[in-house]
Structure 1
Amino acid sequence: MGERVPWELVEAALAAARERGTDVAVVPLTAIAAAAGISRSTLLRRLGGSRAAIDEAVRAAGVDPGGRPPVRERAVAAAAQLISERGLGAVTLDAVAEAAQCSLPSLHTAFGGRDGLLTAIFERHSPLLDLERLAASPPAALGSTVREIHRALVTAFDRHPRVLPALFADLFSRPDGPGGQMFRAGFPRLFDSFGALLLPHVRAGRLRPLPLPLLIQQMLGL
């Protein structure tokens, strides 16, 4: 790392990137200055007048400053492809870093570790976000609600890369493995979405007043 770039400025750049969920290279200098508690003009002066200095210092610290799609986006896409082609066991941080063309420190900065990466993959490739959007603005009719729930589930299973089938395969083969961990982490949000979609119809008398897990099980035919 260049001597003219103090370590606290590198830390400020990394913190600003984490807060925005993006790469250092696309974080405005004003945001880095704010994270460092100084003005933009002071930051530029301490960088020797060049934005490139902070990017080079971050790179020298072992983190890809980016400029391409953010590390988070590249890593989730690369990990999803690995899961689709080789299964969940292929998702090591080393393999993802190589496929995403980023460094291990970049992955730790973006996700905090493998668990955070798996959580991001589940959010992107499970029906979670689609169900949350549906629950935020549900259809009035019960039939339409059920059809839209099924549509969200089928869309998630058919989405490429084929992540969700691989997660279920891992879950059924080793319930305590990473697939089971991902489902357990995402279950509270899934459960909340199903509740928001189905419980109003229970209160209106259109569905039998069964426990929500049983309602979900019957609707999905499990």
Structure 2
Amino acid sequence: MSRSTLLRRLGGSRRSLDEALRAAGVDLGGRKPVKERAIEAAGALISEQGLGRVTFERVAAAAECSVPSLYVTFGGRDELLRAVFDRYSPIVDVEAFLAGPHGDLEATVHQLYRLLGDAMEREPRVLPALLAEVFARPGDASVQFAFQNLTPRMLAGLGQWLAAEVAAGRIRDLPLLLLIQQMVSPLLLHFLLRPVTGQVAAEYLTTKREAVDVFAHAFLRAVALPPADGARS
């Protein structure tokens, strides 16, 4: 279709064409694409106001785009939230790390803890906001949706690696979900409370690196098995 035919079908003006392109998620002002701006805006909304505040209307206002352009880009709120979780949760980082070459059990555990700690402090603070809502409103539909999307990937990524370590005789054979929770829960709770602790008991607050190392060592002491005779872990 020629440009002149397209203009004619849209009302015969460049303004009509520009409006149609904006509605389709194309930004004509040299800014980031609508998809990027919407993910960033939704992440900031979750961090500052909670998961339940994420609506297309609020995201469009924050991202300076139209609601129709969000529907064109994402199809619906669920797909937008999935994109936000992919961007700001540690799952993608953990999957990429475990898919590549990594060290022995101890080195791998320490690196995984660093990834989790980094994710908890990454701005916007999507993961801490999500965890706070779990404690406040565990039955909320938005919270349920988040964990319905995050839990299977956590089991497939971190869970598969832990299961392989169990099969190799390097980790105690514990129920997989409990093993994952034993690994991540203490560290996540520490970082969730860290901002408040820094205000009311700053003299007791360790550095982030020290906290990561302590929790990694504690997990290894709890679950790591001694190497078999003549073998190395």
Runs of at least 4 residues off by over 6 Å: none
**Counterpart code for 2:50:** G
Query: What secondary structure, in the 3-state scheme, does the structure 1 residue paired with 2:117 have?
Result: helix
For residues 25-77 of structure 1, what are the alpha-carbon distances to aligned partners after superposition, in whole Å with 9 as ceiling and x for unaligned? xxxxxxxxxxxxxxxxx5457447xxx96981652884443142111100010
The residue that corresponds to 1:66 in the other structure is 27
SS of corresponding position for 2:27:
coil
Mapped to 2, the partners of 1:138 and 1:127 lie a distance apart of 18
Contact 1:75 1:96 in 2 (8 A): yes
Aligned-residue offset at 1:154: 0.7
Give, in whole Å, the separation in 1 of the partners of 2:21 and 2:101.
50
CA distance in 2 between counterparts of 1:153 and 1:207 reads 20
User: Structure 1 pair 170/154, CA: closer, same or farther in 2 (3 Å)?
Assistant: same
User: Counterpart in 2 of 1:117?
Assistant: 80
The residue that corresponds to 2:67 in the other structure is 104
Counterparts of 1:182 and 1:94 in 2: how far apart (Å)? 20
Where in structure 1 are there 5+ consecutive unaligned residues? 1-41
CA contact 1:127–1:156 (8 Å) conserved in 2:
yes
Matched length: 179
Q: 1:83 aligns with which of 46, 63, 71?
A: 46
- The match for 2:152 is 188
- What is the match of residue 126 of structure 1? 89
| 1:190-205 equivalences in 2 (<5 Å) | 190-205=154-169
CA deviation map 1:65-99 (0-9, x unaligned): 31421111000101111222222232121111011
How far does residue 201 in structure 1 lie from its aligned partner after superposition? 1.7
Partner AA of 2:174 in structure 1: L
| Mapping for residues 160-175 of structure 1, pairs under 5 Å | 160-175=123-138
Q: TM-score scaled to structure 2, two decimals? A: 0.68
Aligned with residue 56 of structure 1, among 17, 21, 33: 17
Q: C-alpha distance in 1, partners of 2:145/2:102? A: 32
What is the RMSD computed on CA atoms of the aligned residues?
A: 2.6
CA distance in 1, matches of 2:22, 2:49: 32
Contact 1:62/1:105, CA 8 A, preserved across alignment: yes
Partner-residue secondary structure (3-state), 1:139 = coil
Distance in 2 between residues matched to 1:140 and 1:200, nearest whole Å: 14
C-alpha distance 60-72 of structure 1, shift in aligned 2 (>3 A):
closer
User: In 2 relative to 1, CA 44–86 (structure 1 residues): closer, same or farther, beyond 3 Å?
Assistant: same
SS of equivalent to 1:208:
coil
Whole-angstrom CA distance in 1 between matches of 2:185 and 2:149: 23
SS of equivalent to 1:96? helix
Structure 2: distance between partners of 1:153 and 1:125:
11
Identify if the C-alpha distance between structure 1 residues 95 and 221 changes in structure 2 by more than 3 Å, giving closer, same or farther.
closer
Overall identity of the aligned pairs, in %: 45
State whether residues 167 and 179 of structure 1, in contact with CA within 8 Å, keep that contact through their aligned partners in structure 2: yes
**CA positional deviation for 1:220:** 2.6
Q: Of 155, 163, 178, which aligns to 1:214? A: 178
Q: TM-score, normalised by structure 1?
A: 0.71
